[in-house]
Amino acid sequence: MGAYILRRLLLMVPTLVGIMAINFFVIQFAPGGPVERVIAQLSGTDVSATARISGGTSDMLSGGGSSSGVSGAAGESTSSKYRGAQGLDPEFIKELEAQFGFDKPPLERFLGMLWNYARFDFGESYFRDIRIIDLIAEKMPVSISLGLWMTFISYAISVPLGIRKAVADGSRFDVWTSGVIVVAYAIPGFLFAVLLIVLFAGGSFLDLFPLRGLTSENWEAMSWPARIVDYFWHLALPLTAMVLAAFATTTLLTKNSFLDEIRKQYVVTARSKGLNERQVLYGHVFRNAMLIVVAGFPGAFISSFFAGSLLIETIFSLDGLGLLGFESVINRDYAVVFATLYIFSLMGLLVNLISDLTYTWIDPRIDFETREV
């Protein structure tokens, strides 16, 4: 097993490099960029998610941008590769390029980025006066809350329901629950979130749940029991919207896994020995049937943690990693975009390894040493 883990860890290096390379060179051909954003702000046409600029860029806009940045001569224009740069001093454009690192060739920038990321040096955000690692750490609790609780609740619903459906396969209960699952899976989570807001969060009907953040403004002054209640009060609607479709796949996976095991010969043998259905189900079938379900838990958590919360965080104004990534793309804050991509990719690769190791922990008969990676 040690050799297998080592091979997987070594393979993560070229995989990470490939992921970063593809996204980096795609960005090179994408329209817009941080320089264009600054130019758009100077011309008053910025439509980014956040309209503030801090740090060195704000100094450049307030200082160089107001005096030497914009040409004051009537009719004077400056040819530039940046859209909307007419009338700006070429030296000012060069200063912007140097500030964002665009004065270097793409390959040099890419290799420098990889070297910094290998040392977990992500630098600072282009448009926020904060280190990226601190920014990610600041947003992490929101996304962890959503991902962890959504995965836990969906498994708590899916596993018992899937087992019950397998035992009652073909019954009326199995049929109508399958109908409910299909309908729930077909409803987009963000659309259901909007419906929940309309019904329960001060829309057209009731005003029972808050619509912003994970905690109330006076959370620090609350007692610990009140804090816990307040925390789950804020999570109720976002989690409901996320769990709606999440439990469907796990439920059907659990059912099909149990059905497959129930039909095997060892189950017939166990029944012939006089064991009752509960003993057969939980003493023999459960461990084998739950192998694929339990081993998929890390992957399910990562999937909900990274991808599933983007729209929900936006709709419910939850300041997590999903909203951070969205705003970073809109704002052309490429430093944050690539840093979060690197961290997400690395964690995804590690979780895939953990999933494989979970298989061997649940069933020691599985041996990855003999499998080609």
Whole-structure pTM over 0.95, yes or no?
no
Enumerate the β-bridge partners of residue 124.
131
Q: What are the b/e assignments for 262-281, b being 16+ CB within 10 Å?
A: beeeebeebeeeeeeeeebb
So what's the pLDDT on residue 364? 66
CA distance 152 to 305: 12
Instruction: For residue 6, give both structure tokens.
Output: 């080592």
Q: List, in order, residues 6 or more apart from 122 with CB less than 8 Å away.
A: 116, 131, 132, 133, 136, 335, 339, 342
Q: From 217, 214, 258, 216, select the one nearest 236 (Cα to Cα).
A: 214
- Torsion of the alpha carbons at 273, 277, 278 and 279, rounded to the nearest 10: 10
CA distance 301 to 344: 12
Backbone angles phi, psi at 212, to 5 degrees: -150, 135
Instruction: For residue 92, give both structure tokens.
Output: 């000012």
Full set of structural domains in the chain with CATH: 32-127 (no CATH), 133-330 (1.10.3720.10)
Asked whether 342 and 16 are in contact (CB, 8 A), the reply is yes
* Helix 90-100 × helix 34-43 angle, to 10°: 140
Enumerate the β-bridge partners of residue 88.
70
So what's the pLDDT on residue 368? 62
User: Which SS3 state, helix, strand or coil, does residue 201 take?
Assistant: strand
Enumerate residue ranges in the chain where pLDDT < 50. 51-79, 373
In Å, how far are 97, 144, 156, 310, 350 from 152, measured between CA atoms? 46, 12, 6, 19, 20
